[in-house]
Amino acid sequence: MKQIIIGISALLATTQYTQGQTFESVPSWSEEFNYEGKPDSLKWSFDYGTGENGWGNNELQYYVNTPQNIAVNNGILKIHAIHEPTNEMAYSSSKIKTLGKKGFKYGRIEVAAKVPRQVGTWPAVWMMPVHNVYGGWPKSGEIDIVEHVGYDPNQLHITVHTLDYNGMNNNQKGSNTYVERAISHFNIYRIDWTEESIIGYINDKKVYEYLNNGKGYASWPFDQEFYLIVNLAVGGNWGGRQGVENETFPATFEVDYIRYYPLKSK
């Protein structure tokens, strides 16, 4: 049985306000993973390969679409990072996205997930712009709903990246939250995204706030559609900062559900 740490359910939290706005009580899009086999092709597509494809942070995995790396069973999506030579990379793993299937603009996005324990892992549920309205990264922004690095097991991260504030400049705007049972339980990660702010929650506790300062896209590119990404990376500039414990793999990133509640009209 899944162990989920639950505060107030998002279904019951519609009276919560974000800069004076509320969210619908019923999701207009959700992925409950209540089926068996590969991720639903009507909702998800795959990324393949390595950072040579134009993304990545010197990671060690090669993204594939194989049953041993990604599968849905018993109501859970499981992504497995395996220590095995794969197309000249040391690891195989998987990465899925809603690009071409579904874009999101404003609303509440809630994720129930359990992160792996292995040193060297770098799981994430995050968002990138559908159309890159303001140009390539970081000009059009990035929203990280939850990130985790295995060498820091009880710390969870919610972050945004923009032209003014991003990881390359080492001034990205993010939170670093201690969660005692981060790797042993499913926890609930959420962002409430409006025209004025992105507010982050872990288990319904507010841990993050990023405000629209009104200075334009360089600090607020979040007025366009973004798509969802779920992946498990290995090593890299952040995940591999304290090495990778090869002998402890395979590692598994588990996601119970993802739900999107639209922003109510003012």
Position 69 in a domain: no
The total number of structural domains that make up the chain: 1
Position 112 in a domain: yes
Position 4 in a domain: no
* Residue 229 belongs to domain spanning: 10-33+97-246
pLDDT of 56 reads 74
Position 65 in a domain: no
pLDDT of 10 reads 38
Mean pLDDT of 146-153: 97
Report the 10 Å Cβ neighbour count for 32. 14
Position 255 in a domain: no
d(CA 263, CA 143): 17
- Does position 38 have pLDDT exceeding 70, yes or no? yes
Position 86 in a domain: no
Report the mean per-residue pLDDT for the chain.
92
What are the residue numbers of the active site?
142, 147
Q: Are 33 and 255 in contact (CB under 8 A)?
A: yes
d(CA 188, CA 259): 11
pLDDT of 14 reads 38
- Does position 21 have pLDDT exceeding 90, yes or no? no
Give the CA diameter of the chain: 54
Q: Tell me, what CATH number does 200's domain have? A: 2.60.120.200
Q: Which residue type sits at 64?
A: V
Q: When comparing pLDDT for 87 and 13, which is higher?
A: 87
User: What's the pLDDT tens digit per position in 90-106?
Assistant: 999 999 999 999 999 99
d(CA 6, CA 187): 7
- Does position 206 have pLDDT exceeding 70, yes or no? yes
Structure-block tokens of residue 43? 């909702």
pLDDT of 265 reads 77
Position 221 in a domain: yes
Q: Where are the beta strands (DSSP E) in the chain?
A: 29-31, 45-46, 61-63, 70-73, 76-86, 89-93, 95-97, 107-114, 121-129, 142-147, 155-161, 173-178, 187-193, 197-202, 205-211, 226-234, 251-261
Position 72 in a domain: no
Q: Are 111 and 257 in contact (CB under 8 A)?
A: yes
